[in-house]
């Protein structure tokens, strides 16, 4: 954590930035909990995805759009379309992170569809789900592994990828 | 127990959509995946169709149609989502294949490289998945979901070129359909609250014995009317037709072809499924206001069944569509505009046959459904081909406005003959499929007159007027765009050989199907029986669990 004040897109207060640092990990944790219990308890891929995106949205609002790319992923970011003047020369290519969001979306869809097709390969109808009960897992003891988790994970990735793409694209405008 | 053949078309379309999304970096690979996917889709649909309607039924040498069901996720019938493939679903799926395969091949040659790479192929396949799901589902809420899957890509595809007029058309289209979807969801919720189930077979079973299940049919009638209005919106029937011309003009030509050919037919299919299969045996008490009005108009006993009550409404909508579509098309100065208005009018003919079927006795009912299905098939192929031809003309000449066209028949003879063939298929000249479509509609009207249906005579006159209007606008389009001396842009036009080959091959289908019409008729007959045979539908799904 660098101590110098950092120029951001807007002026956000120290309070907001500090609280964001505390809150975002909690949001992510809750999101993961919702994702894992979603197959038979309140929760699921969709709501977990939405919650994750709210965490990212908070970072975007408080720290600015480029923070994720520059500080978290250590990338050099090409400034995109900010000076709208002489727009002809401006590159029309999406910043890499948007492409990655799109890939998250694709992978999620593929995962969800694949989880349905695997059931077909095993001789069950499309999208059939099963559950394994594991006893005697070290530390954890009794454990359930539901195949629905794969589908939920797919939904989660679709929601995260889709919403982040929207946030990043609309946010850049 | 799992008959994967039922779900195969759906899975193929979904997987292709995802694969084309994943191969965006490699344009050639993406196009190959997309075309292979549509081929696999066609194979899957034909495999399913040949299981449901065996070849023997088509050739008339015996054999019986089957109704295949599939419980997605293995949940039993009224709780889980059923997919039901009967002869009606199979007919509509084959119709979809006949349109989407040429449309996609055309797109691969027609749409700009960059646009194809970004999203076109995946959107196309997602739309196809939505269409397939809507045709296959046996669950009314699931039908809503597939409608949404079908509509969302189509919003993007309408706005595809992204200029002001496209944005305007897409905004109108999107807002209307979102409204429609919201209303549809409310109606489905209401049906669930009154009938206690969402499974179509289960709804049909419970409504047939409404008293035993303690269901008051009156609210179901109202909620059904709301659903019907939403389906009419998708099908673009008067008074819900106003989004049609702008949206078809804005969309790229192959998308306009798919929308006119296939997604409209999803609305028609939903109307047939809802009114004839689900509500087919439902009746309301005579005391209800709509029943009294129907009785007052002379619909007699029929006025007490749901179908008899929807009949007059269908009838008015059909008359409105035929006249408005026909008159609108006569006065347009642009190929796409004519085709868009014409498709309003042509759907009117389909609805007219349905209206006669709804109010008539069993013989007229079957005849009307057959007429509606054959007409749908002809309209799907002929209208889609004409939209593709209009796209080819735009590619070759750079305009589809009549003031820039003229004399195409001398410069581009194959293109012109394709248009001619598609045009006279719309008009209904033997031996094309359009002739049989019109013939069957007139025949149904005749049968209805014999059966003493009120307004059947009016139906016949309106159908005749509509046919005359069709002749008028088709010959006008032919005269303005294809005959006469070539205009400057036409003289400077070039020959997009591949596109012309695709449309010529496609439009020949109306002649091929018209000459070999017997199997088409038998398939439509099987589909009409499937639509009205509720016992078989209910037994196939077997939602017996709760009494």
**Interface touch B18/A125, C-beta < 8 Å:** no
d(CA B335, CA B383): 12
Write down the pLDDT at residue B295. Answer: 66
Write down the pLDDT at residue B142. Answer: 95
If you compute the radius of gyration of chain B from its CA atoms, what whole number of angstroms results?
A: 22
B 277-296 residues with CB < 8 A to A = none
- Average pLDDT on B187-196 reads 94
Identify the band that residue A76 occupies on the pLDDT scale cut at 50, 70 and 90: low
With contacts defined as CB-CB under 8 Å, which chain B residues touch A120? 2, 4, 7, 11
**Interface touch A125/B73, C-beta < 8 Å:** yes
Write down the pLDDT at residue B186. Answer: 96
Q: Does residue A73 have a pLDDT over 80?
A: no
- Average pLDDT on B261-279 reads 93
**B72 contacts chain A (CB < 8 A):** yes
- Percent of chain B, pLDDT > 90? 61
d(CA A102, CA A90): 22
Q: Does residue A83 have a pLDDT over 50?
A: no
Structure tokens at B88: 């009606």
CA distance A23 to chain B (A): 34
Q: Do B46 and B97 touch, CB atoms closer than 8 A? A: yes
Pairing of the two strands B81-85 and A141-146: unpaired
Inter-chain CB pairs, A–B, below 8 Å: 43
Identify the band that residue B345 occupies on the pLDDT scale cut at 50, 70 and 90: very high
Distances (CA, A) of A147 to A128, A131, B302, B480: 9, 6, 52, 62
- Lowest-pLDDT range, A95-104, B177-186, B522-531? A95-104
**What residues of chain A have any CB closer than 8 angstroms to a CB in chain B?**
102, 105-106, 109-110, 113, 116-117, 120, 123-129
**B73 contacts chain A (CB < 8 A):** yes
Write down the pLDDT at residue B288. Answer: 65
**B152 contacts chain A (CB < 8 A):** no
**Interface touch B73/A110, C-beta < 8 Å:** no
Interface test with B, best of A46, A125, A131 (most B CBs within 10 A): A125
Q: Do B225 and B191 touch, CB atoms closer than 8 A? A: no
**Interface touch A113/B7, C-beta < 8 Å:** no
Q: Does residue A130 have a pLDDT over 60?
A: yes
Identify the band that residue A131 occupies on the pLDDT scale cut at 50, 70 and 90: confident
**Interface touch B14/A113, C-beta < 8 Å:** yes
CA distance A58 to chain B (A): 28
Q: Does residue B156 have a pLDDT over 50?
A: yes
Identify the band that residue B121 occupies on the pLDDT scale cut at 50, 70 and 90: very high
With contacts defined as CB-CB under 8 Å, which chain A residues touch B11? 113, 116-117, 120, 126
pLDDT in tens, B195-217: 989 999 999 988 888 888 888 88
**Interface touch A109/B21, C-beta < 8 Å:** yes
**Interface touch A127/B72, C-beta < 8 Å:** yes
CA distance B22 to chain A (A): 6
Cα A64 to chain centroid distance, Å, stands at: 17
**B74 contacts chain A (CB < 8 A):** yes
Write down the pLDDT at residue B363. Answer: 87
ipTM above 0.85, yes or no: no
Q: Which residues pair with A141 in a beta bridge?
A: A137
- Average pLDDT on B21-34 reads 91
**B11 contacts chain A (CB < 8 A):** yes
Write down the pLDDT at residue A81. Answer: 44
**Interface touch B15/A127, C-beta < 8 Å:** no
B 107-126 residues with CB < 8 A to A = none
Q: Does residue B79 have a pLDDT over 50?
A: yes
CA distance B81 to chain A (A): 11
Query: Between these two residues, B34 and B79, which has the higher pLDDT value?
Result: B34
Write down the pLDDT at residue B303. Answer: 52
Structure tokens at B82: 């059923």
Query: Between these two residues, B207 and B290, which has the higher pLDDT value?
Result: B207
d(CA A109, CA A45): 12
* Tokens 């010959």, residue located: B475
**Interface touch B72/A125, C-beta < 8 Å:** yes
| Element holding A102 (H helix, E strand) | helix A96-121
CA distance B117 to chain A (A): 13
- Percent of chain B, pLDDT > 70? 95
Contacts of A48 (CB under 8 A, 6+ apart): A31, A32, A34, A35, A38, A152, A156, A159
d(CA B243, CA B171): 10
pLDDT in tens, B444-487: 999 999 988 778 889 999 999 999 999 999 999 999 889 888 88
Q: Does residue B423 have a pLDDT over 90?
A: yes
Q: Do B303 and B291 touch, CB atoms closer than 8 A? A: yes
With contacts defined as CB-CB under 8 Å, which chain A residues touch B72? 125-127
From B83, B6, B95, B96, select the one nearest B44 (Cα to Cα).
Answer: B6
With contacts defined as CB-CB under 8 Å, which chain B residues touch A126? 4, 7, 10-11, 70, 72-73
∠ CA B139-B317-B329, rounded to 5°: 115
Identify the band that residue B547 occupies on the pLDDT scale cut at 50, 70 and 90: very low
Q: Does residue B251 have a pLDDT over 70?
A: yes
With contacts defined as CB-CB under 8 Å, which chain A residues touch B18? 106, 109-110, 113
Write down the pLDDT at residue A89. Answer: 39
**B4 contacts chain A (CB < 8 A):** yes
d(CA B355, CA B238): 14
**Interface touch B74/A124, C-beta < 8 Å:** yes
**Interface touch B4/A126, C-beta < 8 Å:** yes
Nearest CA in chain B to A120: B4
pLDDT in tens, A28-60: 999 999 998 888 888 889 999 999 999 999 988
d(CA B56, CA B54): 5
Contacts of B380 (CB under 8 A, 6+ apart): B95, B98, B99, B260, B261, B262, B265
Structure tokens at A170: 């609309």
Compute the half-sphere exposure of residue B192: CA atoms within 13 Å on the CB side of its CA: 14
| Per-position DSSP letters for B496-531, written without gaps between them | -HHHHHHHHHHHHHHHHHHHTHHHHHHHHHHHHHHH
With contacts defined as CB-CB under 8 Å, which chain B residues touch A127? 72-73
- Main-chain dihedrals φ then ψ at residue A146, nearest 5 degrees: -100, 135
With contacts defined as CB-CB under 8 Å, which chain B residues touch A98? none
Q: What is the mean pLDDT of chain B?
A: 90
**B18 contacts chain A (CB < 8 A):** yes
Nearest CA in chain B to A158: B18
With contacts defined as CB-CB under 8 Å, which chain A residues touch B21? 105-106, 109
Q: Which of A109, A120, A128 sits opposite B18 (nearest CB)?
A: A109
Q: Which of B18, B22, B73 sits opposite A128 (nearest CB)?
A: B73
With contacts defined as CB-CB under 8 Å, which chain A residues touch B7? 120, 125-126
């Amino acid at each position: 954590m660098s101590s110098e004040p950092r120029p951001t897109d807007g002026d956000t207060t120290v309070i907001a930035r500090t609280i964001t640092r505390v809150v975002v990990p909690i949001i992510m944790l809750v999101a993961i909990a919702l994702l894992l219990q979603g197959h038979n308890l309140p929760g699921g891929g969709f709501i977990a995805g939405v919650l994750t995106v709210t965490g990212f949205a908070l970072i975007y609002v408080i720290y600015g759009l480029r923070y994720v790319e520059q500080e978290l992923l250590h990338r050099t970011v090409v400034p995109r379309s900010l000076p709208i003047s002489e727009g002809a020369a401006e590159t029309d290519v999406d910043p890499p992170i948007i492409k990655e969001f799109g890939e998250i979306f694709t992978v999620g869809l593929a995962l969800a569809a694949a989880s349905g097709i695997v059931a077909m390969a095993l001789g069950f109808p499309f999208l059939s789900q099963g559950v394994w009960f594991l006893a005697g897992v070290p530390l954890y003891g009794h454990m359930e592994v539901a195949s629905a988790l794969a589908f939920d994970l797919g939904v989660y990735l679709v929601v995260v990828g889709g919403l982040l793409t929207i946030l990043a694209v609309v946010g850049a405008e | 127990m799992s008959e994967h053949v039922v779900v195969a078309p759906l899975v193929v379309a979904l997987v292709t959509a995802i694969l084309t999304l994943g191969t965006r970096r490699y344009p050639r690979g993406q196009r190959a995946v997309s075309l292979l996917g549509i081929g696999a889709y066609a194979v899957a649909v034909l495999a399913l169709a040949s299981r449901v309607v065996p070849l023997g039924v088509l050739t008339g040498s015996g054999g019986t149609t089957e109704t295949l069901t599939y419980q997605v996720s293995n949940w039993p019938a009224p709780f889980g989502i059923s997919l039901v493939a009967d002869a009606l679903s199979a007919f509509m799926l084959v119709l979809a294949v006949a349109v989407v395969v040429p449309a996609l091949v055309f797109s691969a040659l027609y749409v700009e490289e960059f646009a194809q790479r970004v999203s076109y192929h995946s959107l196309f396949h997602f739309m196809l998945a939505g269409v397939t799901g809507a045709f296959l589902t046996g669950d009314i809420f699931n039908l809503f979901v597939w409608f949404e899957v079908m509509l969302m890509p189509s919003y993007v595809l309408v706005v595809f070129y992204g200029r002001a007029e496209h944005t305007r058309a897409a905004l109108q289209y999107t807002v209307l359909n979102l409204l429609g979807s919201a209303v549809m969801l409310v109606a489905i919720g209401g049906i669930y609250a009154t009938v206690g189930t969402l499974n179509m077979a289960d709804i049909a079973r419970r409504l047939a014995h409404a008293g035993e299940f303690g269901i008051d049919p009156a609210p179901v009638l109202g909620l059904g009317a709301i659903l019907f209005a939403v389906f009419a919106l998708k099908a673009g029937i008067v008074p819900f037709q106003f989004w049609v011309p702008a949206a078809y003009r804005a969309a790229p030509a192959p998308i306009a072809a798919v929308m006119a050919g296939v997604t409209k037919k999803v609305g028609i299919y939903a109307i047939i499924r809802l009114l004839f299969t689900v509500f087919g045996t439902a009746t309301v008490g005579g005391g209800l206001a709509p029943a009294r009005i129907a009785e007052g108009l002379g619909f007699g006993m029929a006025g007490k069944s749901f179908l008899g009550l929807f009949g007059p409404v269908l009838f008015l909508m059909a008359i409105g569509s035929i006249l408005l579509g026909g008159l609108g098309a006569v006065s347009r100065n642009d190929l796409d505009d004519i085709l868009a208005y014409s498709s309003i009018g042509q759907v009117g003919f389909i609805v007219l046959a349905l209206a006669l079927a709804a109010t008539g006795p069993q013989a007229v009912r079957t005849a009307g459904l057959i007429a509606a299905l054959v007409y749908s098939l002809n309209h799907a192929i002929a209208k889609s081909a004409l939209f593709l031809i209009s796209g080819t003309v735009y590619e070759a000449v750079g305009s589809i406005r009549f003031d820039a066209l003229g004399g195409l028949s001398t410069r581009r003879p194959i293109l012109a003959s394709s248009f001619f063939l598609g045009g006279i298929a719309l008009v209904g000249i033997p031996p094309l499929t359009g002739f049989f479509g019109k013939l069957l509609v007139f025949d149904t009207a005749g049968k209805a007159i014999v059966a003493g249906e009120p307004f059947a005579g009016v139906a016949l006159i309106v159908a005749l007027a509509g046919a005359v209007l069709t002749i008028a606008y088709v010959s006008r389009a032919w005269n303005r765009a294809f005959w006469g001396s070539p205009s400057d842009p036409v003289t400077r036009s070039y020959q997009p050989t591949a596109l012309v080959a695709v449309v010529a091959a496609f439009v020949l289908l109306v002649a091929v199907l018209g000459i070999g019409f017997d199997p088409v008729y038998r398939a439509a007959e099987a589909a009409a029986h499937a639509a009205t045979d509720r016992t078989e539908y209910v037994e196939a799904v077997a939602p017996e669990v709760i009494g």
